[in-house]
C-alpha cells in the first residue's frame, strides 16, 4: 500500500459523546480510538498518513507524538467533505489513490481494507471511487446507500436528509473510501452544503462521480460491528467489548486459558505465554507481558508489569509498573506499586505493600508488611507485620537488607538503615542504626511478670 496516501478524519467534536475529551481520544481496550486506524495503516504500510484534526487538536497531537502521521488542521468543522479538502492541500502533486478513513470507525480490519484496495484495482474501467458499505438492522444515524434498478450505487443520503422510504434502506455507508486522487481533487470543491446540516458531505462524491460517468464500487462488509462508527458512549462500550473479545480470542488461540472471557479485561498490546490461566475479574493493561505457565487468579489488576514464567498472582492483587521474576508467588491481596521488582521464587503474601523496592531471589515477605524504597537481598525473610519507615515527614530514605538476613515479626526499620548479611532482627525491634553482618539486634523492654495480678484487680474493684 506504499503508493496509497491515507487521510484519517478526526476533527469532529463528537457532540454525541457529551464529553470534554475529543471523541477520537476516548479509549478502547486501553488505547485512544484513533490509535486503531493508525495502527492498521502502519501494518498495511500506507504511504503518507494525514490526520485531520480540529476539535481538541493539541491533545490529539500530543497523544500521538512520535507517530509517523502528519497532522492537518481543519480550523472549523464544516463537514467531512471540507475535512478532506483541508488534507488534500497537503497532498498536492500526489497522483496515486487516496484512502479515507474515519477516526471513529476503530474496529475496521486489515482484510477489509485490503479487500477495498483489490476491488478498486480490478476491472476494465477502474472505479474513480470505491467505498465500504454494510447491512445493518438499525441503520439510524448512518448515510444510506441508494442504488438504481441495476443495483449500481447512485448516491448516499445522510440520515437527516433521508425521506421515509430512504430511511428504510438497510445498506449504510461506513465512512471508508478509496478514491483516485485526480477525481478527488477535481470534485472535492464541487461539494455543496445545501443539506439538513449545512455541512460539506464527503459522501456527495458518489453522486458527482455517477453524473460524470465515473464508476463507483462498493465492498459490502459482512460484519457490521467491524465497520460501526462510534458516536456515543453506548457504541463506545460495544466497541470496547468487541475489541476485548478480539484480544482474548487471539490470546486463547495462542494457548492462554481465559476462564471467563466476558469478565476478563485485557488491553491491546498485552502479551501472555502459553498455558497461562487467567481467572475472571482480572484487568491487565498497558505494556504488560505475562510469561508462560502463569496463574492469574480472580480480580487482579496488572498495569504495565512484566511477569516471568510460572509465576502465580493470587486473588485481588494489584501490580503496577513492576518486574516480577519466574516462579514467584504474589498475593492474595498484595500490592506492588511502581518501580518494584522481584527476583525468581520470591514470595509476597497477603496484605504486603511494596513500593520502589527490589526483592531478591527467593526472599519472602509473607504477611502484612510495608516495604518502601528498599533493596532486599536474596534469601531474606521478612516476618509478619514488619515495615520500613522510609519517610520522616519531609524526605524519603532507603533501607538495605542484605542476603540471608532475618527480620523478625513486627519490626520497624527506620531508614536510612542497613541490615547486614545474615543478620537477625529480633521480633518487635525498632532498628535505627546499621546492623553489622551476622549480628543480632533486639530493642525490647525486659518482660515483667506479675503473678496473681488479675485476681487482685478483681478484688480491688477494678483498681488493679
Beta-bridge partners for 303: 285, 320
6 binds, among ligand UD1, Ca ion, none (CB under 5 to 8 A by kind): none
Nearest-approach distance from CB 229 to Ca ion, in angstroms? 4
Which segment (97-105, 236-244, 298-306, 440-448) binds ligand UD1 by CB under 6 A?
A: 97-105
401 binds, among ligand UD1, Ca ion, none (CB under 5 to 8 A by kind): none
CA–CA gap between residue 112 and residue 129 (Å, rounded): 16
96 within 8 A of 4, measured Cβ to Cβ: yes
CA–CA gap between residue 376 and residue 358 (Å, rounded): 6
Per CB under 5 A, which of residues 261..280 are in contact with Ca ion?
Answer: none
Per CB under 5 A, which of residues 53..92 are in contact with Ca ion?
Answer: none
Nearest-approach distance from CB 86 to ligand UD1, in angstroms? 8
Catalytic residues: 367
Three cell numbers at 415? 531508614
Nearest-approach distance from CB 220 to ligand UD1, in angstroms? 14
| Residue selected from 156, 294, 324, 419 as contacting ligand UD1 according to rule CB under 6 A | 156
Could you say whether residue 173 binds ligand UD1 (CB under 6 A)?
yes
Bond before 416 cis per omega within 30 degrees: yes
Could you say whether residue 102 binds ligand UD1 (CB under 6 A)?
yes
Nearest-approach distance from CB 169 to Ca ion, in angstroms? 18
Could you say whether residue 229 binds Ca ion (CB under 5 A)?
yes
11 binds, among ligand UD1, Ca ion, none (CB under 5 to 8 A by kind): ligand UD1
Nearer to ligand UD1, 198 or 461 (CB): 198
Build a one-symbol-per-residue string for 199-238: x at contacts with ligand UD1 by CB under 6 A, - elsewhere: --xxx-------------------------x-x-------
Closest listed residue to residue 330, CA positions, set 289, 356, 363, 304: 363
Nearer to Ca ion, 46 or 176 (CB): 176
173 binds, among ligand UD1, Ca ion, none (CB under 5 to 8 A by kind): ligand UD1
Nearest-approach distance from CB 201 to Ca ion, in angstroms? 12
* Backbone dihedral angles phi then psi of residue 86, each to the nearest 5 degrees: -60, -45
Which segment (197-205, 330-338, 339-347, 374-382) binds ligand UD1 by CB under 6 A?
A: 197-205
CA–CA gap between residue 162 and residue 373 (Å, rounded): 65
Could you say whether residue 158 binds Ca ion (CB under 5 A)?
no
Per CB under 6 A, which of residues 14..53 are in contact with ligand UD1?
Answer: 52
Nearest-approach distance from CB 247 to Ca ion, in angstroms? 23
Build a one-symbol-per-residue string for 266-295: x at contacts with ligand UD1 by CB under 6 A, - elsewhere: ------------------------------
Could you say whether residue 78 binds ligand UD1 (CB under 6 A)?
yes
Which segment (62-70, 80-88, 252-260, 267-275) binds ligand UD1 by CB under 6 A?
A: 80-88
Nearest-approach distance from CB 22 to Ca ion, in angstroms? 13
Question: Exposed/middle/buried for 151, CB within 10 Å: 0-12, 13-18, 19+?
Answer: exposed
Could you say whether residue 172 binds ligand UD1 (CB under 6 A)?
yes
Could you say whether residue 56 binds ligand UD1 (CB under 6 A)?
no
Q: Is the dihedral of CA 322, 328, 333, 334 positive or negative?
A: negative
Per CB under 5 A, which of residues 101..120 are in contact with Ca ion?
Answer: 104
Question: Exposed/middle/buried for 55, CB within 10 Å: 0-12, 13-18, 19+?
Answer: middle
Could you say whether residue 80 binds ligand UD1 (CB under 6 A)?
yes
Which segment (8-16, 251-259, 353-361, 430-438) binds ligand UD1 by CB under 6 A?
A: 8-16
Three cell numbers at 141? 444515524
214 binds, among ligand UD1, Ca ion, none (CB under 5 to 8 A by kind): none
9 binds, among ligand UD1, Ca ion, none (CB under 5 to 8 A by kind): ligand UD1
80 binds, among Ca ion, ligand UD1, none (CB under 5 to 8 A by kind): ligand UD1
Tell me which residues touch ligand UD1 (CB under 6 A). Answer: 9-12, 52, 74, 77-80, 82-83, 102-105, 142-143, 156, 158, 172-175, 201-203, 229, 231
Q: Given the rule CB under 5 A, which residues bind Ca ion? A: 104, 229, 231
Amino acid at each position: 500500500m506504499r503508493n496509497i496516501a491515507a487521510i484519517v478524519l478526526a476533527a469532529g467534536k463528537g457532540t454525541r459523546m457529551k464529553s470534554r475529551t475529543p471523541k477520537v481520544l476516548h479509549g478502547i481496550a486501553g488505547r485512544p480510538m484513533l490509535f486503531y486506524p493508525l495502527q492498521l495503516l502502519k501494518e498495511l504500510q500506507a504511504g503518507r498518513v494525514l490526520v485531520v484534526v480540529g476539535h481538541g487538536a493539541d491533545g490529539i497531537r500530543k497523544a500521538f507524538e512520535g507517530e509517523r502521521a502528519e497532522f492537518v488542521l481543519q480550523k472549523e468543522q464544516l463537514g467531512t467533505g471540507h475535512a478532506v479538502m483541508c488534507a488534500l492541500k497537503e497532498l498536492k502533486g500526489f497522483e496515486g489513490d487516496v484512502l479515507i478513513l474515519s477516526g471513529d470507525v476503530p474496529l475496521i480490519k486489515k482484510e477489509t481494507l485490503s479487500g477495498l484496495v483489490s476491488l478498486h484495482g480490478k476491472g476494465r474501467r477502474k472505479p474513480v471511487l470505491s467505498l465500504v458499505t454494510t447491512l445493518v438492522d438499525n441503520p439510524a444515524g448512518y448515510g444510506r446507500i441508494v442504488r438504481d434498478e441495476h443495483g449500481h450505487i447512485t448516491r448516499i443520503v445522510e440520515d437527516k436528509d433521508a425521506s421515509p422510504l430512504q430511511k428504510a434502506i438497510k445498506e449504510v455507508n461506513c465512512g471508508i473510501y478509496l478514491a483516485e486522487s485526480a477525481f478527488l481533487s477535481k470534485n472535492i470543491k464541487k461539494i455543496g452544503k445545501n443539506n439538513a446540516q449545512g455541512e460539506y458531505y464527503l459522501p456527495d462524491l458518489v453522486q458527482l462521480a455517477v453524473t460524470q460517468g465515473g464508476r463507483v464500487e462498493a465492498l459490502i462488509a459482512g460484519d457490521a460491528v467491524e465497520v460501526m462508527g462510534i458516536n456515543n458512549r453506548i457504541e463506545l462500550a460495544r466497541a470496547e467489548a468487541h475489541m476485548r473479545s478480539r484480544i482474548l480470542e487471539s490470546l486463547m488461540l495462542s494457548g492462554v486459558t481465559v476462564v471467563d472471557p466476558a469478565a476478563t479485561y485485557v488491553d491491546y498490546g498485552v502479551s501472555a505465554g502459553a498455558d497461562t490461566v487467567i481467572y475472571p475479574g482480572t484487568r491487565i493493561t498497558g505494556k504488560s507481558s505475562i510469561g508462560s505457565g502463569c496463574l492469574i487468579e480472580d480480580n487482579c489488576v496488572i498495569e504495565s508489569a512484566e511477569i516471568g514464567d510460572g509465576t502465580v498472582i493470587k486473588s485481588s492483587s494489584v501490580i503496577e509498573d513492576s518486574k516480577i521474576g519466574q516462579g514467584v508467588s504474589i498475593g492474595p491481596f498484595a500490592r506492588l506499586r511502581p518501580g518494584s521488582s522481584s527476583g525468581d521464587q520470591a514470595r509476597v503474601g497477603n496484605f504486603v505493600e511494596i513500593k520502589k523496592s527490589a526483592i531478591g531471589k527467593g526472599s519472602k515477605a509473607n504477611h502484612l508488611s510495608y516495604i518502601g524504597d528498599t533493596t532486599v537481598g536474596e534469601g531474606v525473610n521478612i516476618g509478619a507485620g514488619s515495615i520500613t519507615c522510609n519517610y520522616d515527614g519531609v524526605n524519603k530514605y532507603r533501607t538495605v537488607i542484605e542476603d540471608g538476613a532475618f527480620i523478625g515479626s513486627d519490626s520497624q526499620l527506620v531508614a536510612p538503615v542497613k541490615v547486614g548479611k545474615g543478620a537477625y532482627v529480633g521480633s518487635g525491634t525498632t532498628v535505627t542504626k546499621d546492623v553489622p553482618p551476622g549480628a543480632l539486634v533486639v530493642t525490647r523492654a525486659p518482660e515483667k511478670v506479675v503473678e496473681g495480678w488479675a485476681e487482685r484487680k478483681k478484688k480491688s474493684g477494678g483498681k488493679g
